[in-house]
Amino acid sequence: MTKAVLWTAQDAQTATGGTTSGDWTVSGISIDSRKVTRGDLFIALKGPNFDGHTFAQAALDAGASAVMVDDATGITDPDKILLVDDTMAALNRLGDAGRARSNAKIVAITGSVGKTGTKEALKYVLSQQGKTHASPASFNNHWGVPISLATLPVDAQYGVLEIGMNHPGEISPLVKMVKPSVAMITTVVGAHTEYFKDEAEIAMAKAEIFDGLDKNGAVILNRDNLHYFALARRAKELGLTDIKSFGTDAVANYRLFEANIVNDGSAVRARIDGHELEYFIGCPGEHWVVNSLAVLGCVAAIGADVERAARDLADVTPPAGRGETSTVKLPSGDGTFTLIDDAYNANPTSMMAGIKVLAQTKPAEGGRKIAVLGDMRELGNDAVKMHADLHHPLTAMEINRVYCVGPLMAELDKTLPDAINAGHFETADAAIAPIKADLKSGDVVLIKGSLGIYVSKIVSALKSGGVVDKPAPQ
């Protein structure tokens, strides 16, 4: 199937302020020459330890229609060059132009946890009602957001963009590019705490997402979060008056009444803008239930069909690395176990959510609940205590075995009761063989950790025996 044209050479030249002698068109954008697909515009970004210009010719050889560079040295086809003053600045201009030509209603999402899963769920339910564009993967930073805007189809009706941050001041310039109709904060908790004095500072950094809204834009906040009132006050200070909330609080606009959480999802009864709804979301866990309210709130705020979206939540399943559940063959080939892949990232709040999901599962006869936990990064001075304290929920929720992976998880290893302690391993690679040898038919295995500890390697190793089934990707 032929991909739609995103940019002609002339349009890209006008948008970026660059120059080109070619008459090419592009249908996608890439900044990684290893992932270039035919028809892409390869943008040669620079960083402290890399220079994309080194790979510009390789990108053309791989099928890119053109390359955006600020130095054309070594490129053999001059007609495929878009020459700009600075590739990062030009990418921002291309993103601005992509947003300016679109009439899409865009929802911008941030929060300490739950951004990507909520984005994917909202993307899915909106896509059943109209052409919807969303940030790919976790394109939520200073280059991901302009790429998401530069790839926004002109005829898209809806957009869902995730905006992340590690430091104060990072969200504001990005959301001003996005110009959303709705700004939503999933929650504020202690993530990236090494860069902030306290959670109140984190909340104000998240509140920067209001900076891109016009006065008629909608703000959606977690009413159960400790920082709700501070966030709502900040929104009002900016002149925003359409402030809605979700959660269990009796005054929440999108209120949870009850939820029945089972292995393959959650049955929910809720009130959305005064209307009672019953629906099923294909994701187990209290955090998914609460964030489903936020999803339906966003649907309501942009004027889409809430009841249809609620029905469509049944087809939403957790993305890979964020709670995806698979039935996997044992390494011996004799039997299967359940794998919960939550390996993309971790902080104390999301770690607790993952442990709760594991605790609520029902292993098959003879099976156990096994947690493989990797380091939680960017926690500052409290990191040692936060890791050690995980023994409280693990024991209270009757997890049967716990593998500790990474230098910081050595602190948990010290506090775990011997009865459930399966050992400490400095690296994910070192843990693979012992975990494989320990698995039994009927086990349920949660794998959770920060990206930099690479517990995703354990996921890949366990899946290598063969996945019997897994949810279709959304």
Question: For 3-12, 261-270, 414-423, which range has the lowest pLDDT when averaged over its residues?
Answer: 261-270
Contacts of 373 (CB under 8 A, 6+ apart): 346, 351, 390, 402, 403, 404, 405, 409, 412, 448, 449
Using an 8 Å Cβ cutoff, are 30 and 59 in contact?
yes
Q: Do 283 and 224 share a structural domain?
A: yes
Assign residue 178 the CATH number of its domain: 3.40.1190.10
The one-letter amino acid at 443: D
243 sits in which H/E element = strand 242-247
Do 294 and 332 lie in one domain? The reply is no
Residues 345 and 433 in one domain: yes
DSSP element (H, E) containing 296 = helix 286-301
Domain that holds residue 383: 324-465
DSSP state of 19: B
Residue 292 and residue 174 in one domain: yes
User: Chain-wide mean pLDDT for the chain?
Assistant: 94
Q: What would the two tokens of residue 48 be? A: 């402290």
Residue 380: inside a domain:
yes
Q: pLDDT per residue over 436-474, tens digit each?
A: 999 999 999 999 999 899 999 999 999 998 888 654 444
Q: Is residue 146 part of a domain?
A: yes
d(CA 41, CA 382): 44
Residues 157 and 257 occupy one common structural domain = yes
Average pLDDT of the segment spanning 218-229: 97
Q: Among 105, 125, 414, 159, which Cα is nearest to 296's? A: 125
Tell me, what's the pLDDT at 196? 78
Report the DSSP beta bridge partners of residue 371.
402, 446
Where in 111-231 does DSSP place strands (E)? 132-134, 158-162, 182-185, 218-222
Count Cβ neighbours within 10 Å for each residue of 240-272 and write b for 16 or more, e otherwise. Answer: beebbbbbbeeebbbbbeebebeeebbebebeb
Q: What is the pLDDT of residue 332?
A: 85
**Interval 394-439: pLDDT, tens:** 999 999 999 999 999 999 999 999 999 999 999 999 999 999 999 9
Which of 90, 119, 140 delimits the end of a domain?
Answer: 90
On the question of pLDDT at 380 being above 90, the answer is: no
Number of domain units in the chain: 3
Q: Is the CB of residue 45 less than 8 Å from the CB of residue 88? A: yes
pLDDT of residue 147: 97
- Domain check: are 404 and 351 in the same one? yes
The amino acid occupying position 256 is L
CATH code for position 339:
3.90.190.20
CA distance 75 to 42: 13
CA distance 360 to 421: 20
Same domain, 85 and 107: no
316 and 264 in contact (C-beta within 8 Å)? Answer: no
Structure tokens at 187: 């929650």
Tell me, yes or no, whether 95 lies in a domain: no
| Residue type for position 397 | M
329 and 310 in a single domain? The answer is no
Say if residue 395 is in the same domain as residue 433: yes
Residue 2 belongs to a domain = no
One domain, residues 162 and 283:
yes
